[in-house]
Chain A
């Protein structure tokens, strides 16, 4: 029997990860390969993701081949090639864009250009059939902290974003200050679980009562001064602190960041009359954030539905790229072989 579903091969190389996936009809994941999470990584790369185009060049072909093999798909079953061509690191994006254009030309398949951040929103609704719109989408990661007014997969509208550090970056840098291991997000969360979130009152930067932008550089500096004294001339107290003191700092820091994320999301939801909240990005794996957002949605009047990206699709992946591409495929929104990578979102 002929397979009538629309199969899209998605490719993602916007930052550290080299990833490819085959997704049918925008929601059935036939394969998902991420170089750093597979044996390919042992074969081709180091422990820490390499930040260089060379790493992507070495991994792109085996990753795509693996995604096709795992999906048990031949090129004849593929209906389109999707590539995240923005935003990201140009030298990394160009590897995926070149691979996607080459496959599009060689296999004679349409090419679909995807915005990496819009694709993150898609991760949150992979399993949802009846999405109630409008929705507010919160994307929180190491590189991004954004709120969107989401009315259709094709045209999310940016409501606000960080004016300095992303939330995930603040987690990472505070982990460095507290000498917690890399990656900082999971380390802070684990340490914070043993601490008192009310032990220290760290600042919550709201940027005025109307703003939907974020600022997390102030809280990073506040943690630094808490540990090293107001003039930075004091002794770095971290080494002499007890495990409990470190846990209290981590818990208080985490609570402050989550507080801001929740309040801003709530503010955005009220502004646009959102019925649903979407959460995606690497920091969406944080259980405290998930719980706090759940409480916010339940206590809202009327209650809002919360959709969170499954943990394996919170960080960068190609499933979200192929999934969003399905909507562009249906809308007939194709790119051509002049497609270029773009560092910033248009």
Chain B
């Protein structure tokens, strides 16, 4: 059974905490697509998820907009992908996406709406963030596996 979930974050810190709750319950093998406009907290959420998944030096988890993929070692191998600069779904596939997906890994994709069609053949968690005030964000999480309690 997979469920949807809605919540509000009142600060970047709360967004990171939510990410940590998600990350600490990941088992490996998950792909999480994250979307939302500039400044909505995608990188902060991923900072939390990666910290929850045991990433070393999670303070320095930063935006891979330019480098496209950051890799972190932790309890799970974490691939942090940013599709912002990608021009096509083909470019996304050529990054080695298939190689990122294995039972001990988790793949976190920012600006996932740009490449969603590449995810059609897999089961993925979908997170959308919306601006709701200067530091307030509405967060919608879809297709959450039952072993993740939020």
- State A225–B134 Cα separation when bound (angstroms): 7
Q: Please give the distance in Å from A256's CB to the nearest CB on chain B.
A: 15
Kindly report which residue of chain B lies nearest to residue A162, judged by CB atoms: B62
Do A224 and B39 touch across chains, with their CB atoms under 8 A apart?
yes
A54: interface (CB < 8 Å): yes
On whether the beta carbons of B131 and A163 are closer than 8 Å, the reply is no
Docked pose: A157 CA to B66 CA in angstroms: 23
CB pair B67–A15 under 8 Å, yes or no, is: yes
Q: Chain B CB within 10 Å — which of A54, A141, A162, A232 has the most?
A: A232
CA distance A143 to B63 in the complex (A): 8
From A221, which residue of chain B is reached at the shortest CB distance? Answer: B39
* Contact flags A138-155 to B (C-beta < 8 A → 1, else 0): 000111000000000000
Task: Assess A89 versus B134: contact at CB under 8 Å? Given A48-B87, A52-B95.
Answer: no
Contacts of A343 in B (CB 8 A): 69-71
Which A-B residue pairs are the 6 nearest by beta carbons? Answer: A232-B131, A143-B66, A142-B66, A221-B39, A343-B71, A52-B94
- Selected contact of A169 from candidates B44, B63, B72, B131, CB within 8 Å: B63
The DSSP consensus for interface residues of chain B is: loop
Distance (whole angstroms) from the CB of B147 to the closest CB of chain A:
28
Partner of B63, one of A52, A87, A166, A231: A166
Whether A165 lies near B38 (C-beta < 8 A) is no
Question: Which B residues are in CB contact (< 8 Å) with A221?
Answer: 38-39
Docked-complex contact B65 and A169, CB < 8 angstroms: yes
Q: Which of A48, A91, A176, A231 contacts B132 (CB 8 A)?
A: A231
Contact between chains at B38 and A220 (CB < 8 Å): yes
Residues of B45-78 at the interface with A, using a CB-CB cut-off of 8 Å, are 47, 59-72
Number of A-B residue pairs, CB cutoff 8 Å, is 97
In the assembled complex, A88 has its CB within 8 A of some CB on chain B: yes
* Residues 124-147 of A contacting B (Cβ, < 8 Å): 141-143
Q: Are A344 and B131 in contact (CB under 8 A)?
A: no
Q: Pick the residue among B66, B86, B95, B133 that contacts A166 (CB under 8 A).
A: B66
A53 close to chain B: CB less than 8 A: yes
Whole-angstrom CA separation of A176 from B44 in the bound complex? 20
Chain A interface residues toward B at CB < 8 A: 15, 48, 50-54, 87-91, 141-143, 161-166, 168-169, 172-173, 176-177, 213, 217, 220-221, 224-225, 230-232, 343-344
CA–CA, A53 to B87, complex, Å?
14
For the complex, is B91 an interface residue (Cβ under 8 Å from A)?
yes
Taken together as a complex, chains A and B put the C-alpha atoms of A168 and B62 apart, in Å, by 13
Return chain B residues, CB-CB under 8 Å to A54. Answer: 94
Q: Does B20 contact A (CB under 8 A)?
A: no
Chain B interface residue count, Cβ-Cβ cutoff 8 angstroms: 32
| B68, A51: Cβ atoms closer than 8 Å | yes
Classify the secondary structure of A's interface with B.
loop
Report the bound CA distance from A142 to B65 in whole Å: 8
Question: Shortest beta-carbon distance, B76 to chain A, in Å?
Answer: 15
| Bound CA–CA A221/B41 (angstroms) | 10
Residue of A nearest to B131 (CB): A232
**B91 with A164: CB separation less than 8 A:** no
Q: Does B43 belong to the interface (CB within 8 Å)?
A: yes
Q: A214 — nearest CB in chain B belongs to which residue?
A: B62
Chain A nearest CB, measured from B10 CB (Å): 13
Determine the distance from Cα of A87 to Cα of B68 in the docked complex, in whole angstroms.
Answer: 12
Q: Does the CB pair B94–A91 fall under 8 Å? A: yes
In this complex, what residue of B is CB-closest to A232? B131
Q: What are 30 inter-chain pairs, A to B, with CB distance below 8 A?
A: A15-B66, A48-B87, A51-B87, A51-B95, A52-B94, A54-B94, A88-B67, A89-B67, A89-B68, A89-B95, A90-B69, A91-B94, A142-B65, A143-B66, A162-B60, A163-B60, A165-B43, A166-B62, A166-B65, A169-B65, A169-B66, A172-B65, A173-B38, A213-B60, A220-B38, A220-B39, A225-B39, A230-B134, A231-B131, A344-B70
Docked Cα-Cα span, A166 to B47, in Å, equals 15
A137 vs B63: C-alpha distance in the bound complex, in angstroms?
Answer: 22
Contact A230 B39 (CB under 8 A): no
CB pair B66–A168 under 8 Å, yes or no, is yes
Measured in the bound complex, the distance between the Cα atoms of B95 and A22 in whole Å is: 29
Instruction: List A contacts of B38 (CB < 8 A).
Output: 173, 176-177, 220-221, 224
Q: Which residues of B contact A165 (CB under 8 A)?
A: 43, 62-63, 65
How far is it, in angstroms, between the C-alpha of A152 and the C-alpha of B137 when the chains are bound? 46
Q: How far is the CB of B113 from chain A (nearest CB, A)?
A: 16
Give residues of chain B (93-150) contacting chain A, Cβ–Cβ below 8 Å. 94-96, 131-134
